[in-house]
Amino acid sequence: MDAFDALTVGRKVTVRKTVGESDVYLFAGISGDFSPNHVDEEYMRATRYGRRIAHGALLIGYMSRASTEICAGLGGTIVSYGYDRIRFPHAAFIGDTVTVEYEIVERKEAERKTFARVTCTNQRGEVVAAATHILKVVE
Is the pLDDT at 131 greater than 90? The verdict is yes
How buried is 60 (Cβ within 10 angstroms: 0-12 exposed, 13-18 middle, 19+ buried)? Answer: middle
Contact status, residue 61 vs residue 39, Cβ threshold 8 Å: no
**What is the reported pLDDT for 139?**
82
Query: Is the per-residue pLDDT at 55 higher than 90?
Result: yes
Phi, psi of 136 (to 5 degrees): -130, 125
Domain locations along the chain: 3-137
In terms of pTM, does the model score above 0.85? yes
Q: What would the pLDDT profile of 82-119 be if each residue is shown by its tens digit? A: 999 999 999 999 999 999 999 999 999 999 999 999 99
At residue 1, the pLDDT reads 73
**CATH class of the region 3-137:** alpha beta
How would residue 37 be classed by pLDDT, with cut points 50, 70 and 90? very high
H-helix or E-strand spanning residue 78: strand 78-87
Q: Is the pLDDT of residue 65 over 80?
A: yes
